[in-house]
Amino acid sequence: MRTAIAHRAVPMSTSMPWPALQARLRYVLLAAPDDRPTATELTELVEAVDG
C-alpha cells in the first residue's frame, strides 16, 4: 500500500458515495510526497468532513 501511495498508483473510483471525504482523500493520495499532509493534518482533514 505504501508503495502504491508513493507512486500515486492507488486506483480511484469515479463513484463517490461520500464525496466530501473522498475528495479529501483523493487529494492526499494523488499529492506529491512533499505535499502530503502529516498524520495530524490528515486527521484534521477527515474530521472536517464530519464537522
Q: What is the CA radius of gyration of the chain?
A: 11
d(CA 13, CA 5): 15
Q: What is the pLDDT of residue 51?
A: 62
Residue with cell 502504491: 4
User: pLDDT for 1-51, tens place per residue?
Assistant: 778 777 777 777 778 788 888 888 888 888 898 999 999 999 998 888 876
